[in-house]
Amino acid sequence: MSATGWAWVVLLAPLAGTLVIALGWRALPGRAPGWIGTGAITVSFAAAVATLLDLQSRGEEERQLVSSAWDYAKTAGVDAELSILVDPLSVLMILVVTGVSALIHLYSVAYLASDRGYARFFAYLNFFVFSMLLLVLAGNFLVLIVGWAFVGAASYLLISFWYRRTTATEAGIKAFVINVVGDVGLVLGTYFIFQGTGTLDFLGSFEAVQDSFGRNDGELVAGCCLLLVGAFAKSAQIPLHTWLPDAMEGPTPVSALIHAATMVTAGVYLIARMHPLFEQAPAAADVGAIIGCLTLVVAATIALVQTDLKRVIAYSTMSQIGYMVMGVSAGAYAAGLFHLMTHAFFKALLFMAAGSVIGAMAGTQDLDRMGGFRRSMPFTFGCFVVGGLALAGVPPFSGFFSKDELLLLVGDRGGWHWILYGFGYLAALLTAVYTFRMIFRAFLGEPVAEARALERGELHHAEHHTNPATGEQEDTDVGFPGPEHHIAERAPQMRAAMAVLAVLATVAGLLQIPFGVTHLVDGFLEPTFAESELYERNPSDGQIGLGLVLGALVGLGGIFLAHLIWVRKPGTSAALRARLAPAHQLLARKWYFDEAIDILVVRPFALAGRFCQQVFERVVVNGFFVGGTTGAVRAGSAAVRAAQSGYLRLYAALLLLGGGALTLYFLIASS
């Protein structure tokens, strides 16, 4: 089978899994839905590997394959067809998506074992993977938009998975609404580009863009900025980022899969995929780079003070996606995608380890109440540290190579890009600090009651199940988390998934070692970016060396700082908080983004809505349109009704008069 054939298998296996689980869940016993879901994604991953092998066996010029299942409409200049594009970029994405998804499915088999919505969870999860694959394999803008919207819907379903928790449903609605803003941006951006190039096909429009638009043409810049709105909403970039921390209401595997490894990287993929457009509209690309830089700094500062374990990792994700968006917008495509890949590994690992800790805490996510899990959960501790080292960018873990290469290539553009470079390293310091703040607070120090119970060999179970965010009482029926919690130390499936990811998070960096040792990612992606003028760049050895040293020093320095603050002198953080109360307040309230959006967007809209409901609806719609029409009809019918008196003789007289009048008329007319 050819590469495109395998790619169709990649796409269809998760869809088949969804349908089987969703339609047959009554007949499937016990954990079968979980294994079917995992199996479907594993098949998909195997097919993705086959696609890769087939693609690599072709010549460099022939590595962009388009396969069309059918034409939906091909008239009047619209070429709507269900086509997929298989090239190194999409193959890299399907490998990462299916690979990480398969491991997270495996993890979920154990993690959600006691949840009453077990089958539903796997149906949703498979549907999400299908949507994501549709998004990355899309060969034209229409399929991309469909995949984009499906991903948003799947994200909503999974965030609100525990649908009887009001906080979860609210978070789901928030995520969906913000994602729809992005969808609208994507659709309008597509319109601008379609208007110029006259085709919806990716390769066709990339070829036509040079002739259709001048450099920095206003319409192209507008189109690209609208595409960026879509990318920002999906990838949680400022100012459309507020949904991501709230999305942590979903089950932990969902956070690992959607809100760390796959969905939030869709924006990065979009910018990389559209690179011929962005290179023709550098103004829009600069917007992307600056917003990415802003996000990575802001998110890193917020992560410093959050006390919810998953939210810290969520802000860390935002920050890391900011690096990627900055990278691909500034032309560091391969580096950005390399970071995307390593980030998928270590962030999924961190979320899985966090899920294990949350399991040991019986659902509590508050860092203030954790401590001393090092001895009772050695495996989780090890995984968390590996993920943390990779995230902090300590050599030789994967994040070290990818982040430094990304920053180097951004700075190498020269001029004001060096400012972005500086902020990148500043945020890298913060990254190391907040990552190890989490680790030190959760795993070191005095063991809490739950940790001591675990050391005695019993897993702590809450007497009453409560919502960790609000403390409301819950039962364990469908729509709420199940009665039992699971930790990696007790569940082989979870341990297997985490072990694989830990290995990948450690060694994935070796794919691309600077000074020309290895450049597998670079070389692999070359055919996609063959036309790009920004792809081939050779920074000097001095710059590379400086970057590596700086990266290692910043990572280790951050860890040292965190150790100083939270381990060696435990009072320091409280003292700092007291000294810098306003700054702490600013960060704890997340730079007041939620409040700002509330004042600038939500309240005006609510006000306009209330005005419409109470004034426009009542006076204009009800009073004028509805009332006016009924009044006119009623007055007219009252006049007509008067003629219907019920007097038979009157009718006869009118009939005769009418007949007589007609006769007279014809007599006069004929003479």
Interacting positions 250-269 with another protein (CB under 8 A): none
The identity of residue 175, as a single letter, is A
Site string for another protein, 596-615 (x = CB under 8 A): --------------------
- Dist. CA 121–CA 258, nearest whole Å: 13
Residues 6+ apart with CB under 8 A from 206: 276, 277, 531
In the complex with another protein, the residue whose CB is nearer, 30 or 646, is: 646
Binding-site size for another protein (CB under 8 A) equals: 13
In the complex with another protein, the residue whose CB is nearer, 629 or 645, is: 645
**56-64, 450-458, 485-493, 646-654 -> range binding another protein (CB under 8 A):** 646-654
In the 8-state DSSP scheme, what is residue 518? -
Interacting positions 184-203 with another protein (CB under 8 A): none
Of 126, 86, 89, the C-alpha closest to 108 is: 126
**1-9, 471-479, 534-542, 645-653 -> range binding another protein (CB under 8 A):** 645-653
**77-85, 230-238, 573-581, 634-642 -> range binding another protein (CB under 8 A):** 634-642
In the 8-state DSSP scheme, what is residue 52? H
The sign one gets for the Cα dihedral 482, 488, 491, 497 is: positive
Site string for another protein, 9-48 (x = CB under 8 A): ----------------------------------------
Tell me the closest approach of the beta carbon of residue 665 to another protein, in angstroms: 18
**139-147, 225-233, 467-475, 639-647 -> range binding another protein (CB under 8 A):** 639-647
Q: Does 648 bind another protein (CB under 8 A)?
A: yes
Tell me the closest approach of the beta carbon of residue 150 to another protein, in angstroms: 58
**152-160, 212-220, 329-337, 643-651 -> range binding another protein (CB under 8 A):** 643-651
- Dist. CA 216–CA 279, nearest whole Å: 9
Tell me the closest approach of the beta carbon of residue 648 to another protein, in angstroms: 5
The answer to whether the beta carbons of residues 405 and 548 sit under 8 Å apart is no
- Dist. CA 596–CA 232, nearest whole Å: 18
In our burial notation (b when 16+ CB lie closer than 10 A, e otherwise), range 455-493 reads: eeeebbeeeebebbbeeeebeeeebbbbeebbbbbebeb
Interacting positions 130-159 with another protein (CB under 8 A): none
- Dist. CA 501–CA 391, nearest whole Å: 13
**352-360, 373-381, 465-473, 644-652 -> range binding another protein (CB under 8 A):** 644-652
Q: Does 634 bind another protein (CB under 8 A)?
A: no
Residues 6+ apart with CB under 8 A from 263: 128, 132, 151, 155, 234, 257
Q: Does 635 bind another protein (CB under 8 A)?
A: no
Tell me the closest approach of the beta carbon of residue 628 to another protein, in angstroms: 23
Site string for another protein, 649-668 (x = CB under 8 A): x--xx--x------------
Tell me the closest approach of the beta carbon of residue 615 to another protein, in angstroms: 38
The identity of residue 545, as a single letter, is G
**What are the residue ranges of helices labelled H in 198-273?**
202-212, 218-235, 243-246, 252-256, 266-273
In the complex with another protein, the residue whose CB is nearer, 57 or 663, is: 663
Give the residue, chosen from 457, 646, 668, 671, that forms a contact with another protein under the rule CB under 8 A.
646
For residue 254, the Cα-to-chain-centroid distance in whole angstroms is 11
Tell me the closest approach of the beta carbon of residue 638 to another protein, in angstroms: 9
Give the residue, chosen from 191, 625, 647, 665, that forms a contact with another protein under the rule CB under 8 A.
647
For residue 544, the Cα-to-chain-centroid distance in whole angstroms is 32
In our burial notation (b when 16+ CB lie closer than 10 A, e otherwise), range 616-630 reads: eeeeeeeeeeeeeee
Residues 6+ apart with CB under 8 A from 67: 4, 5, 7, 8, 83, 84, 86, 139
Tell me the closest approach of the beta carbon of residue 78 to another protein, in angstroms: 56
In the complex with another protein, the residue whose CB is nearer, 599 or 657, is: 657
Give the residue, chosen from 641, 667, 669, 670, that forms a contact with another protein under the rule CB under 8 A.
641
In the complex with another protein, the residue whose CB is nearer, 166 or 645, is: 645
Q: Does 645 bind another protein (CB under 8 A)?
A: yes
- Dist. CA 549–CA 240, nearest whole Å: 34
In the complex with another protein, the residue whose CB is nearer, 23 or 632, is: 632
Q: What beta strand segments (E) does 459-532 contain?
A: 465-466, 473-474
- Dist. CA 486–CA 197, nearest whole Å: 53
Give the residue, chosen from 644, 668, 669, 671, that forms a contact with another protein under the rule CB under 8 A.
644
Give the residue, chosen from 27, 574, 635, 642, that forms a contact with another protein under the rule CB under 8 A.
642
In the complex with another protein, the residue whose CB is nearer, 76 or 648, is: 648
Contacts with another protein, residue ranges (CB under 8 A): 640-649, 652-653, 656
